[in-house]
Structure 1
Amino acid sequence: MSKSALILRHLAFEDLGGLGPVLEDEGYRLSHAEAGIDALPDALGTDLLVVLGGPIGVNDMEAYPCMKTERIWLAPRLAARRPTLGICLGAQLMAAALGARVAAMPRKEIGFSALTLTERGINSPLRHLRDGPVLHWHGEAFDIPDGADSLAGTAACATQAFAMGPTILGLQFHPEAGELPAFERWLIGHSVELAEARIDPASLRRDAIAHGPALRRAGQSMLRAWLRDLPA
């Protein structure tokens, strides 16, 4: 019997990327909702929820009311420990819904760099990511929610991932993206942000060529391990 997975997307090109085929291989029937546009279904009514990234911020509730809506919507699902995966903004929304602080960093973290895994992280599905750089693209970061385990950090951001048991996983970084040609959409779509941060897209493109294929494989292995650890 197939399982249902709802994918909440905030920006068209920040999609499931390399993680999509894993969900399909593991028997999930995918449905999608567009943040700020589609009415959100019952948060408890899907077997798996994946909340993806985007360029707006958790604290931008006045400018983007969907941020408040999503935080409220997520809370009962997280309280029930229903399987939920958040990536970048998605993880920040989860952290905020769990009562943790989300705030601007001194400097944006954009580019490829390796994670430093905690002891908990080494013994989690993130072990598949320990051997190579992952993609970072954020200017805000979450505190680890009360009751959650910190799984990874970098020099720029100490809180790169958290978990609550086997069912709740928040990732500040992007395991789903970074491989060309799809990564070109990120470079084009975020061109203004890159220019403001004085980051050369050509350098990111070179890093994507060097690291993107391995990151895709590692991200898929991580997700497959996490899904198979979920309670039946």
Structure 2
Amino acid sequence: MTDAAASFRRTALVLRHDSTIGLGNLGPTLEARGYDVVTVDAPATDVAAIDPLAADLVVVLGGEEGAYETDQYPYLADELRLLQARIEAEAPIFGVCLGAQLLAAALGARVYAGERKEVGWLEVAPTAAGAASPVRHFAGVPTVQWHGDTFDLPEGVERLAGSPQYENQAFRRDEWLLAVQFHPEVTAGIHEDWLTAWGDELPAYGLTTERLREERASYGAPAEAASAALLGEYLDGIAARARTAA
């Protein structure tokens, strides 16, 4: 930890939807930038009671829920209200997979089931805007995809990356909001947890657990390095924004 990080601590509120879909390798980067991480299990928490602006940063992780399934999962409606309050205040938010979909919904865009799940170690292609954003660190670096839902691009954001199957893979608003559909958080442990939990889905996509383990062995380290660079650059950007505002 740097002296600056030690002298000025911040709080990152993490909204988690499944114990197997955790913060992973994002955690060390947050801690290195001076964040105290507070993880909330949204399904077991009164999300409506959370002050949406109390944390310096909100991180919204993935889950099997659909952002449009608020009747089945009422806490998602509470999360959407929390995100809308932060968006109105331009308070920093980072969303991953379901988190990106919830951010798209909070910004007024449609979230819906795609034609086919996107699963495996796959590349995303940064747009011109993405090449000048933190997402650029994933150019040419395969990363984990495991989702069936997608979203229309919200108004007032920059599209940062796409893939052959789903064109909306990342977006941002200014420096304070960043959303990625892919999974930069995946560690070896998370990867194994997912293979155990959902490995029976893989044959439908021409994949096996053995193949994904081989790909993890090849791509895991570069993906984790890209993850640290992506999140670190985003956090540095919101820190610079806060200094300017002060």
Sort the TM-score into its range (normalised by shorter chain): over 0.9
Aligned to 1:85, the other structure's residue is in SS state: strand
Instruction: Determine which structure has the larger helix proportion and give its number.
Output: 2
Whether 1:97 and 2:112 are equivalent positions in the alignment is: no
Equivalence for 1:221: 229
Equivalence for 1:209: 217
Please provide the CA RMSD for this pair: 1.4
Aligned to 1:169, the other structure's residue is in SS state: strand
Equivalence for 2:5: none
Q: CA deviation at 1:72?
A: 1.9
Whether 1:15 and 2:45 are equivalent positions in the alignment is: no
Equivalence for 2:46: 39
| Gap runs ≥5 in structure 1 | none
Aligned to 1:16, the other structure's residue is in SS state: coil
Whether 1:107 and 2:129 are equivalent positions in the alignment is: no
Aligned to 2:30, the other structure's residue is in SS state: helix
Q: CA deviation at 1:180?
A: 2.1
Aligned to 2:144, the other structure's residue is in SS state: strand
* Structure 1: distance between partners of 2:192 and 2:77: 31
Whether 1:157 and 2:151 are equivalent positions in the alignment is: no
4+ aligned runs moved over 4 Å, structure 1: 195-198
Of the three residues 166, 172, 175, the one matched with 2:181 is 172
* Structure 2: distance between partners of 1:131 and 1:105: 24
1:64-123, Cα deviation, whole Å (9 max, x unpaired): 222222112211111211110000001100110110011111110011111111110000
* Structure 2: distance between partners of 1:58 and 1:196: 24
1:141-152 paired onto structure 2 within 5 Å? 141-152=150-161
Identity of aligned residues (%): 39
Q: CA deviation at 1:52?
A: 0.2
Whether 1:52 and 2:61 are equivalent positions in the alignment is: yes
* Structure 2: distance between partners of 1:131 and 1:228: 23
Between structure 1 and structure 2, the one with the greater Rg is 2
Q: CA deviation at 1:12?
A: 0.4
Equivalence for 2:88: 79
Aligned to 1:12, the other structure's residue is in SS state: coil
* Structure 1: distance between partners of 2:202 and 2:81: 32
Aligned to 1:5, the other structure's residue is in SS state: strand
Aligned to 2:112, the other structure's residue is in SS state: strand
Q: CA deviation at 1:192?
A: 4.5
Q: Kindly tell me: are residues 56 and 192 of structure 1, through their superposed partners in 2, closer, same or farther at Cα, counting changes over 3 Å?
A: farther
Q: Kindly tell me: are residues 99 and 128 of structure 1, through their superposed partners in 2, closer, same or farther at Cα, counting changes over 3 Å?
A: same
Whether 1:4 and 2:11 are equivalent positions in the alignment is: yes
Of the three residues 123, 131, 141, the one matched with 2:140 is 131
1:100-148, Cα deviation, whole Å (9 max, x unpaired): 0111111100111111111100000111111311111110111111000
* TM-score scaled by length of structure 1: 0.95
Aligned to 1:8, the other structure's residue is in SS state: strand
Q: CA deviation at 1:33?
A: 0.6
* TM-score scaled by length of structure 2: 0.90
